[in-house]
Amino acid sequence: MKYFITSQESFQKGDIPEDVKKFLKKYPNPFIILDESSKIKSNRAMYTHKMSKRAQGILKLNSIGHRCILTGTFMSKSPVNAYNQMCFLCKDYFKMSVWDFQRLYCVTMVIQQGRGVTTLISEKVYKTVYNGLVKAKNRGEDVLLCAHEAISSRWGISQSSQLHILAHPEYTPFKNVDSLLEKIKDDVMFVKKEDVLDIPPKQYSTIRVEPTPEMKSLYDQLLKKGFLDNVAVDGIALYHRFQDICNGYIPKIDDDDEEEQVYLVPQKTNPKLDTLEEKIDEIDTKKSPVIVWSNRKKILQDAYTRLKEKGYVCALYDGDTSKEKKEKIKKAFIAGKIDVFLGNTRSGGFGLDYLKKADYAFYVCNDESVETRVQSEDRIHRGGITSHKFIYDIVIAKSVDEKVMKNLRVGIELIKEGHTDKEVFEWAS
């Protein structure tokens, strides 16, 4: 039996790569092991015309009759991903539509302006429904029945989901997960890294930085007014403006720009970058290069410029980095010619196993995605390492930075669809 191990990144052009075709020609019936399966998330992952080019190429590989195994983070964030991943390999695996699957394993509510489209229930609505059901139950079965009907009408939450909420005081947007795991147990293997690899654990430290007077003034202005000068914000945009301020920038809009695109003006000082520079100066980067992660492009580019001007050999790896440049960075890093690698967590969270040579990673601006965070951390925490790995978060005290960190630590995504301005203000305060 022959095995062929590959990753989703090999299928970027939407077809089977030539090297894969050559292997299949020589060994026509191997097991295909496809890594990074957590990227298969579309509810229509089994229909080629609805998928990305990368996913289309993967499905072509699976559809030509070769046996395939998915590896990576299974059922990431939501049980619905189990549906996507299993049906990707076997279209009728669950013998039900994704909508029926959601009703069975997820606590959902109707999006009022979405013409009946459902989404996972928010924590705020969950608690409101729970409190209402408890009060109704205490008043008798007839009152509880009326409450079920009212909640179903108000939020579009099924009675079975309401019974789940009533039985679980803590926020649990998924239900019947044990029965789901029982159903797929013969086809899925769960393995924790610490159970199979003898490697030192990651060591975390949070560096809390006090805001400058300018930063605090801007932050308070946004909290009190909900806007900055001529920059109006709401919903998720509000979150980004808070983060811009914490990263050391002032959001502005060019009055002559008809599209009113927001651009960022540096504040007088940037305490995050000052702290990052101080910490890197304490490390012998020739013995151990340093990794700097950020989900925001501007602060990553400014960190690159500052460190390069100071004499460090730096590499910038983000969505604009060409394939040729990425290959040069890889060769230079392996050869020990790079002191500081600066990467965007979304574009650099995968396929960078060569970074495990580094012992230090700094996060100057966190991604809200737990999965992306874990993936980027594991670039330096891989099998075969023997040294301790130190991960630092540089956060602005009493700001959204700390809220993001808190939610990442407990494995909850901070930003979800449906957050109102009021909710954003509550966690930003």
| Residues 83, 93: Cα–Cα separation, whole Å | 8
Give the largest CA-CA distance in the chain: 75
Task: Please tell me the predicted confidence (pLDDT) of residue 392.
Answer: 95
SS3 state of residue 271: helix
Please name the amino acid found at residue 197.
L
pLDDT of 252 higher than 70: yes
| Residues 115, 107: Cα–Cα separation, whole Å | 18
pLDDT of 278 higher than 90: yes
pLDDT of 96 higher than 50: yes
Strands 118-120 and 202-209: unpaired
DSSP 100-169: HHHHHHB-EEE-GGGTT-EEEPPHHHHHHHHHHHHHHHHT-HHHHHHHHHHHHHHH---HHHHHHHHH-S
Q: pLDDT tens across 182-206, in order?
A: 888 888 887 776 677 778 888 999 9
Distance of CA 279 to the CA centre of its chain: 26
Q: Which band of pLDDT confidence, cut at 50, 70 and 90, is reported for residue 393?
A: very high
**Residue 359: phi, psi to the nearest 5?**
-105, -10
Nearby residues of 142 by Cβ (< 8 Å), 6 or more positions away: none
| Residues 79, 241: Cα–Cα separation, whole Å | 32
pLDDT of 380 higher than 80: yes
Distances in whole angstroms, Cα of residue 172 to Cα of each of 78, 160, 177, 183, 417: 11, 14, 11, 20, 17
Task: Please tell me the predicted confidence (pLDDT) of residue 10.
Answer: 66
Domain boundaries, the chain: 3-100, 107-173, 202-428
Q: pLDDT tens across 395-413, in order?
A: 999 998 988 887 777 654 4
Q: pLDDT tens across 413-429, in order?
A: 433 433 455 555 565 66
The residue with greater pLDDT, 1 or 273, is 273
Task: Please tell me the predicted confidence (pLDDT) of residue 85.
Answer: 78
- Identify whether the C-beta of residue 395 lies closer than 8 Å to the C-beta of residue 207: yes
- Identify whether the C-beta of residue 247 lies closer than 8 Å to the C-beta of residue 299: yes
Q: CATH second-level architecture of 202-428?
A: 3-Layer(aba) Sandwich (3.40)
Q: pLDDT tens across 163-183, in order?
A: 999 999 888 888 888 898 888
| Residues 375, 343: Cα–Cα separation, whole Å | 13
Task: Please tell me the predicted confidence (pLDDT) of residue 287.
Answer: 92
Q: pLDDT tens across 30-60, in order?
A: 777 777 666 665 544 444 444 556 556 666 6
Tokens of 393: 């978060």
Task: Please tell me the predicted confidence (pLDDT) of residue 418.
Answer: 38
SS3 state of residue 34: strand
pLDDT of 372 higher than 60: yes
> What's the average model confidence in pLDDT over 148-163?
91
Highest mean pLDDT among 73-77, 305-309, 380-384: 305-309
Tokens of 385: 């390492």
Q: Which residue has the tokens 């299974």?
A: 74
- Identify whether the C-beta of residue 103 lies closer than 8 Å to the C-beta of residue 156: no
| Residues 188, 370: Cα–Cα separation, whole Å | 22
Beta bridge partners of 34: 6, 70
Task: Please tell me the predicted confidence (pLDDT) of residue 238.
Answer: 80
Task: Please tell me the predicted confidence (pLDDT) of residue 417.
Answer: 38
> What's the average model confidence in pLDDT over 378-402?
89
Task: Please tell me the predicted confidence (pLDDT) of residue 237.
Answer: 77
Nearby residues of 204 by Cβ (< 8 Å), 6 or more positions away: 391, 392, 393
Tokens of 51: 């998928």
Q: pLDDT tens across 77-86, in order?
A: 677 778 877 8
How many residues appear in the chain? Answer: 429
> What's the average model confidence in pLDDT over 257-266?
76
Task: Please tell me the predicted confidence (pLDDT) of residue 50.
Answer: 46
Strands 262-266 and 249-253: antiparallel
